[in-house]
Amino acid sequence: MENYSNLDAEEFRILIVEDAPENIDILIGVLSNYNLIISKTGEKALKLMAGDAQPDLVLLDIELPNISGYSVCNQIRQNKEYDDIPIVFLTSKTDRESILKGFETGGQDYITKPFDTKELLARVKTHIELKKNKEQLKNVNRWLENKVAQRTEELKGANNELIRVNSELEKLNKELINLDKEKAEFLSIISHEIRTPLNGLIGFLDIIKSSIDDEKILEYFNYIDISTSRLEKFALLALQMTQLKVKNLKLDKLELNLNDIILGFTNSKFGEELSQKKISTNFDFSPQDMVVYVDESLFHQCISCVYENAISYTNEGSTIEIRGFLKDNYSCIEFVDEGPGFSEKALNNLFKPFIPGIKHVDENMGLDLAVVNLIIEEHGGKIEIENQDKKGALVRLLLPAKEAG
């Protein structure tokens, strides 16, 4: 952009159109600091205007030979290229009609004869400055328009790229969804293919075990029984985890009494194991008839996994505390054991399946806790796990509370 702030007067060109020699001499003397071009006729002035060196200001006498200053001004204004060149009339006519005619033909101002040098200099300087500022503003606007056009093109390119990337992401997302579905279907088939022979194997193992008298052989068969049970459990957990991740399970929520569920597990499923390890259980439910709004099958699996984990890592003769209470719009269920607690590595990888070398998940490669976490999240809740200050671990399940009835 051009900067006029340091320009000298001589760098501005003024076209003087005047036929009286004495007036020309006065104008040359007063405006000597400017670059002056003199024309004594309107015809010559129009030719000069059509040349390469266009003026920054025209001082135009109204009374010229052959062609009047009004006519010259009118012809200049017919060319759009000269719109920004100010025209100031030089006139001895001060009547209202003459002045208005000058403005109507396209003049910006007038200076009366005889000239007042201070007024002449002031008027010239004002119009030069106005033209300079107008040109500067036009240049700024042109620069801004170019910048806007450039930025618009950049944004257009960026937008096209964004559209392309979004299209690719949408395509990849569809492929991922299809892949998840295929994975779920594949695991379902694999699970079925594993469970079918396993069920037959487990059934035959029970039959064979009932007919064996040799204790050593029976011990071997017990090991096989344990291995097949673990394999069956692993297949079920892997399938369920995949179904939960791809949202392939529909929740059938019911209002269930938490106290009844916990007592059911304590007295039936884990009763024998609790008795063998001489583990006592303390229950604390507030309210006593605390209700949870859950999918019964999935919630039973959560309680089973967490309860079984607490039993497995609680030392013989110790105590497991199970608490139920309402807090911050959550139904909270806590299992507190007196085992060794979780290692730091285990705490950092609690819900990541297949993390090797972590003691608390070596039995099932971490699938139990991963599935519990997914089930709780599917219910809109969360799971929190921490070590106790003295010994043992605390597992807290938080489910959105819902009043019974």
In this prediction, residues 173-183 reach a mean pLDDT of 79
Structural contact between residues 81 and 52, judged by C-beta atoms closer than 8 angstroms: no
- Confidence band for 2, pLDDT divided at 50, 70 and 90: very low
In this prediction, residues 178-190 reach a mean pLDDT of 72
Lowest mean pLDDT among 169-183, 221-235, 244-258: 221-235
CA atoms of 104 and 106, how far apart (whole Å): 5
The arrangement of strands across the sheet holding 87-91 comes to: 35-39, 13-17, 57-61, 87-91, 109-112
- pLDDT, averaged across the chain: 83
CA dihedral 262, 263, 264, 267 (to 10 degrees): 130
* DSSP sequence for 242-274: HHHHTT-----EEEEEHHHHHHHIIIIITHHHH
Structural contact between residues 13 and 55, judged by C-beta atoms closer than 8 angstroms: yes
> Is the predicted pLDDT of residue 64 greater than 80, yes or no?
yes
| Per-residue confidence (pLDDT) for residue 96, from 0 to 100 | 87
Greatest C-alpha distance within the chain: 145
CA atoms of 232 and 222, how far apart (whole Å): 15
CA atoms of 210 and 218, how far apart (whole Å): 9
> Is the predicted pLDDT of residue 237 greater than 70, yes or no?
no
Look up tokens 């008839």; give the residue. Answer: 289
> Is the predicted pLDDT of residue 392 greater than 80, yes or no?
yes
The arrangement of strands across the sheet holding 382-387 comes to: 280-286, 319-327, 330-336, 393-400, 382-387
| Per-residue confidence (pLDDT) for residue 223, from 0 to 100 | 73
| Per-residue confidence (pLDDT) for residue 352, from 0 to 100 | 66
Cα dihedral across residues 342, 347, 350, 354: positive or negative: negative
With 0-12 / 13-18 / 19 or more C-beta atoms within 10 angstroms meaning exposed / middle / buried, residue 26 is middle
Helix (H, G, I), strand (E, B) or coil at 216: helix
- Confidence band for 77, pLDDT divided at 50, 70 and 90: very high
Strand partners, 294: 254
Q: Convert the pLDDT of each residue in 5-55 to its tens digit.
A: 444 667 899 999 999 999 999 999 999 999 999 999 999 999 998 887 789
CA atoms of 248 and 227, how far apart (whole Å): 29
